[in-house]
Amino acid sequence: MRAASRVSLVMCVFNGLEDTRACLESLAGTTEPFRLVVMDNGSTDGTPGFFERFPYEYPLTFAKSPANDGVIASLNRAWRLADTEFLCFLHNDTEMLEPAWLTRLLAALAEPDAGLAGLYGAKRLRADGRMVGRTIVHSLSPRPTVRPPWEDVAFVDSVCMCLSRELLDAIGGFDEGYGFYHGHDRDLSLAVLERRRRCLVVHAPFRHHGGRTRTRDFARDAAEEQRDLALRNSALARFAEKYRRQLPCDVRSPRQRMRDWLGMGLA
């Protein structure tokens, strides 16, 4: 008999069945019991049929979005289908490499004042909302940079975000005003910090294939790259205006900043 699950993994998918299969295969050895909630955003490949004949033993909730209106709106529909204490939002183009990855995320959330945990983030955001690249910490294989077991950050990337359902409900879910895809992870991170809760990046190695979680078929030609860049910039401008009183944001103490500046050039 499987132990009761206290966490749901939440995904939004649009085609990319090969990536989804690889992700789910990597989850098979996860030591922490979990439920899976998947929102399909209009897939036209074999994704719906795959989930209708779901081959894995962990509990599944599968639903279809009424319209292909974006990742952020679909994620809001998806997490409200979960009834577990914790929610872990995960891109379907990730592969987890250690069975204890989810247990480590939940352990981080048990830290005093912890609110949000993930696998990729940055310690400093500029006044315009952009992260300072040299303050990035992550668990990307083969060379994770985050010091075990976790480090405080200002921003947790949407590739993996874990928090309590209670906290997300109090925040009101993801802000759909950002539009189709970009901005919701920065917004959630600052909303957590605004409530005097900590954001953490956890040491739990993973692979990320990247760029294949959106719910439109972006043909990656120059025109579409420009379109995506415009969407990113629009979301960033909205974020910077919304949180202008909290930006710039740096979770490091003055001593840590000086140490980083002297030792590694993290300005």
Kindly calculate the radius of gyration of the chain based on its CA atoms and give it in whole angstroms: 18
pTM of structure: 0.92
Domain limits at 217?
7-263
Q: Does residue 130 belong to any structural domain of this protein?
A: yes
Tens digit of each residue's pLDDT (9 = 90 or more) over 86-96 = 999 999 999 99
Tens digit of each residue's pLDDT (9 = 90 or more) over 225-255 = 888 899 999 999 999 999 999 999 999 988 8
Closest to 9 (Cα-Cα) out of 72, 67, 88:
88
- Output 263 or 214, whichever has higher pLDDT: 263
Q: What is the mean pLDDT of the chain?
A: 92
Q: Does residue 125 belong to any structural domain of this protein?
A: yes
What percentage of the chain carries pLDDT values higher than 70?
93
Look at the chain and report how many structural domains it folds into: 1
ω into 99 cis (within 30 of 0): no
pLDDT at 220 over 60: no
**Arithmetic mean of pLDDT, 98-116:** 97
Q: Does residue 181 belong to any structural domain of this protein?
A: yes
* pLDDT confidence of residue 259: 80
Q: Does residue 214 belong to any structural domain of this protein?
A: yes
- 109 with 86: CB under 8 angstroms? yes
Say which range, 142-146, 169-173, 222-226, has the weakest mean pLDDT.
222-226
Alpha-carbon distance values, 263 to 2, 194, 259 (Å): 48, 30, 6
Q: Does residue 2 belong to any structural domain of this protein?
A: no
* pLDDT confidence of residue 216: 44
Q: Does residue 217 belong to any structural domain of this protein?
A: yes
Q: Does residue 1 belong to any structural domain of this protein?
A: no
Q: Residue 143 maps to which CATH number?
A: 3.90.550.10
Tens digit of each residue's pLDDT (9 = 90 or more) over 128-165 = 999 999 999 999 999 999 999 999 999 999 999 999 99
